[in-house]
Amino acid sequence: MLTTRIMIIAAALAAAATVPAAAAVLSDEPVRATPADELKATADGDQGYLAWSQNSAAHPRHYDTYVSLHGATPVKVNLAGTSGWNGGIDGNRLIYQQVRYGQSDLRLFDLTAHTRTTPANVNTLLWEWRPTISGDWILFGRENFRTTPIRDWVVLHNVATGQTITLAHTTGGSSAPGQVNGDFATYMTCGNVACNVFRYQISSGLIVKMPNPRLRIEYAPSVSSNGTVYYASSGRACGQDVHLLRFTPGTSSVATLLARFPSGVDLDSSYVDDRANGDRFLFHDRGVCGRNNQSIYRFIDPT
């Protein structure tokens, strides 16, 4: 189900108004749309990889992560006896979240050798989740469920130097990682009034907040290698006036509307796949609120 979306709604306490459209809406296309609940897609189109998480009819509450090369038979990523949640692809590495006996850690999967390793100095006894990877940088979330209220962190870690940067830390609200891509990372935080999306530039340390003049719920952020941010914006309820937006800091003060979802339809995550020829594919999962049946879609950004 739209688990992250439900968390965001619970954290936001104010009603939202409609954001005016900045451009004509685009049509997206389904990539995986089966009876299973398929979500959290990531891709490397230049290599031909597509990865995602899904359940099955026999085990609707259990999720595994799969990767397919050029549409071939999917390979299961997470270890047998565990649950797997997809993360991100960089080169021949796929990073993902593996859950076993109530412990959630991050793992690396070699897309060529199909072997698993553990990134150094990342996992703790807390809940590490939703990772992405770009070069030496890993972006992920960390939660402590043992405290009241729950504490959340968004963490950026360099596996080569050991440097760790805390991008967000919330107690009683919520925060979630988006995507790291080149020199940029995205994340969102929720407070008492609204949920906001931010972009962090690694080289300069500059943080930019995405426009949110109506104090809507902003979530599911991703970012391209040139710093263009993609994210969802909606009203307070799941599936209420959901927009998919694009914003490039420094070029405008208004976000561009890319897609408007039908009432009752929402998304959980987005991911940018930059192609070598300049094309930019935006993957996202979408489904009807209250149903355990999301599907994976994508569209090409006309920029």
Which string of DSSP letters, residue by residue, matches 143-198?
A: EETTSSS-EEEEEEEETTT--EEEEEEEESSEEEEEEEETTEEEEEEE-SS-EEEE
> Contact, 69 vs 51, CB < 8 A?
no
Distance CA 125, CA 115 (A): 23
The torsion defined by the Cα of 144, 147, 148 and 153, in degrees rounded to 10, comes to -30
Q: Shortest CA distance to 39 belongs to which of 13, 74, 66?
A: 66
Distance CA 73, CA 71 (A): 7
Amino acid at 64: D
Strands 295-300, 229-234: pairing kind: unpaired
Domains, in order of start, for the chain: 3-300 (2.120.10.30)
Digit-coded pLDDT (tens) for 97-112: 999 999 999 999 999 9
pLDDT mean across residues, the chain: 91
The predicted structure's pLDDT at residue 10? 47
In the Cβ-directed half-sphere of 261, how many Cα atoms lie within 13 Å? 25
**Cβ contacts of residue 103 below 8 Å, gap of 6+?**
125
The predicted structure's pLDDT at residue 149? 87
Q: Shortest CA distance to 42 belongs to which of 301, 275, 303, 271?
A: 271
Q: Shortest CA distance to 259 belongs to which of 281, 239, 242, 247?
A: 242
Distance CA 86, CA 65 (A): 6
Give the pLDDT of the chain (303 residues) as one tens digit per residue.
Answer: 565 554 554 444 333 333 434 455 667 899 999 999 999 999 999 999 999 999 999 999 999 999 999 999 999 999 999 999 999 999 999 999 999 999 999 999 999 999 999 999 999 999 999 999 999 999 999 999 888 888 999 999 999 999 999 999 998 879 999 999 999 999 999 987 889 999 999 999 999 999 999 999 999 999 999 999 999 999 999 999 999 999 999 888 899 999 999 999 999 999 999 999 999 999 999 999 999 999 999 998 866
